[in-house]
Amino acid sequence: MLPDKDCILDHVAIAVSDLEKSIKIYEDLGLTFAAEREVVESQAVTTAFAAIDENAHIELLCPYGEDGPIHKYIAKKGEGIHHLCFKVPDVEKKAKELRDKGYVLLYDKASMGAGNCLVNFIHPKSTGGVLIEISQKL
Ligand code: CMX
């Protein structure tokens, strides 16, 4: 049992250039992807999710077009681990707590992410280089 249910790992997101090719890698490992592919238009990505256990998932993020943060990330750094996402009960409350502690949040107000979640991000410049998403399931 987890000691602190206020913050649990929801997913590890990986930026990929070829969604089906990357799905095969993780399926070869033994994971099973949901058949659904969700497009998040605000980020110009197609996503695919596979459960790792009862809480955590792998999220593959595949950009389309030349816009959006994931396209920019792959162009600059190549494919690879893009962010960690932690599930919280109240994303606005957690964002305020983090701002009060001096962290830089990407959005003033949480926005809709994949999987019917309200999300915000802690900028990697204030976390030692790791992009961290906080997410509230609606
Ligand atoms: N991890 C670590 N560092 C990162 C990074 C990442 N994923 N993405 C960018 N950076 C670094 C850049 O390399 C850059 O570093 P330097 O200044 O040393 O060159 C710095 O952070 C700034 O990055 P930028 O792209 O130039 O500019 P922004 O400040 O505008 O970027 C950022 C903000 C990183 C939060 C944004 O680009 C981003 O990734 N947003 C979240 C996108 C996302 O994951 N959406 C999820 C969609 C699917 C879903 O809903 O689940």
Asked if residue 1 is part of any domain, the answer here is no
Q: Domain range for residue 81?
A: 8-137
Whether 32 shows a pLDDT value over 70: the answer reads yes
Establish whether residue 135 lines the binding site of ligand 1, counting it when its CB lies within 6 angstroms of any ligand atom.
no
Q: What is the DSSP letter of 130?
A: -
Note whether residue 2 is domain-resident. no
Q: Is it the case that residue 1 has pLDDT exceeding 80? A: no
Of all protein residues, whose CA lies closest to atom 8 belonging to ligand 1? 73
60 Cβ below 6 A of ligand 1: no
Asked if 87 contacts 7 with a C-beta cutoff of 8 angstroms, the reply is yes
Does residue 79 fall inside a structural domain?
yes
Query: What is the pLDDT, as a whole number, of residue 4?
Result: 56
Per-residue pLDDT tens over the stretch 84-98: 999 999 999 999 999
Number of domains in the chain: 1
Distance from the alpha carbon of residue 133 to the mean position of ligand 1, in angstroms: 11
Q: How far is the CA of 73 from the centre of ligand 1 (A)?
A: 7
Helix, strand or coil for residue 114?
coil
Q: Is residue 71 part of a domain?
A: yes
Q: What CATH number does the domain containing 129 carry?
A: 3.10.180.10
pLDDT at residue 115, rounded to an integer: 86
Does 29 reside within a domain?
A: yes
pLDDT confidence of residue 114: 87
pLDDT at 2 > cutoff 70: no
Domain assignment present for residue 12? The answer is yes
The two three-digit tokens of residue 112, written as one number: 């809709």
DSSP 18: -
Per-residue model confidence as pLDDT tens digits over 97-137: 999 999 999 999 999 988 899 999 999 999 999 999 999 99
Which residues neighbour 93 within 8 Å (Cβ) at sequence distance 6 or greater?
Answer: none
Is residue 107 a part of any domain in this protein?
A: yes
In the reported structure, the alpha carbon of residue 69 is separated from the centroid of ligand 1 by a whole-number distance in angstroms of: 6
Euclidean distance between the first and the last CA atom of the chain, given in angstroms as a whole number: 23
Whole-number Å distance between alpha carbons of 120 and 136:
9
pLDDT digits (tens, 9 = 90+) for 35-59: 999 999 999 999 999 999 999 999 9
How high is the pLDDT of residue 131?
98
Are residues 88 and 7 in contact, defined by beta-carbon separation less than 8 angstroms?
Answer: yes
Q: Is residue 96 part of a domain?
A: yes
Half-sphere exposure of 125 (CA within 13 A, CB side): 4
